[in-house]
Structure 1
Amino acid sequence: MKVRITKGENAVGRLFAEPPSVAGVAEYKKLTIVEELLKFMRDQGISRTELAKRMGVQPSRITSMLNGTNNFTIETLVRAGKAVGAELHQTFAPEGMRVRWNCYDPANVHPAFLSVKVQPVHLSKSRFVELESAATDDDAQAA
C-alpha cells in the first residue's frame, strides 16, 4: 500500500485557522440550548406535543424551536424551562474564559454554609471566587 503525503491546506485547518464568526457562535449556542432542552424532555418523557401544551403554543412552534430555525427570546427560553421544570441561567464571561456551572439542592447544604457570600477575585488571566462565611467554629464542627 502506498501512502501519499501532500502538503498544503486542508478544509479542517482552514476552518479552525480563524476565530468563529458571530453568526457561527450564535448558531452553536442555539444548538446547545436545544440539546439541553431535549435532554430535559427525554429524561421526563415529555413529547413535543406535551411541551407545546405546557408552553401554550402550537406544536409547529415547538418543531421550529427544536429544529433551531428561529431565534429564541428570553421569554421563550424561560417558558420552555418552566415547562420542563428547569430555570434559565445565563451569564457573560470575559473573552477566552469559560464558565462552569454547579447545580445543587440548597436543602442538602449544611446551614453553616448557606450564609456564604461570593465575591470575585481578579488575578491576571484567571478569575477565582473568594468565599466569606459567617460560620463559627461550632458550625464547622457540626458539619
Structure 2
Amino acid sequence: MSDDLVFTDEKLETAMRPGALAWQILVVDDEPAVHDVTKLVMAGFEMDGRGLEFTHCYSAKEARAVLAAPNDFALILLDVVMETEHAGLELARHIREDIGNLNVRIVLRTGQPGQAPEEQVIKNYDIN
C-alpha cells in the first residue's frame, strides 16, 4: 500500500446528477435586498450533486400560507423581526409545533442588534 495521496477530479464529484432534484430553500424576510443578496451569494451552489431552488416570502403570514401547502423544504432562512419583533420566532414555533415539521432546518437571521433569541428558544425549536 502506498502513502501517496490520490485526489479525485472535484468537478466529477460536484457535477449535478442528471435528474437530481434541487434542494428547496424558503427565504422569509421583509427586506427585498436580503432576498437579492441571498440569491446572489448562493447562485450556482450545489450539495450532493443537487442545486438550490428558492421560494421567497416577505412576511411570516405569507410563509405560513406557503408552508400550509405540501412542500419539501430542506432549509428555511428566517428573519426574526418582520411584522412584529418576534414574528420569525413565532413562525419557527408554528413550524415545529403546529405543523409538526421536525425535519426542515431553520436558520435565523436578523439585522436588528439585540434581537437574537435566547439559547432556550433555539433549543426548544431546534433552530440552527
Fold-level match, TM-score > 0.5? no
TM-score bracket, shorter-length normalisation: under 0.3
Q: Which has the higher helix share?
A: 1
Given the two structures, how large is their TM-score scaled by the length of structure 2?
Answer: 0.23
Q: Which has the higher strand share?
A: 2
Name which structure has the greater RCO, CA cutoff 8 Å, separation 6+: 2
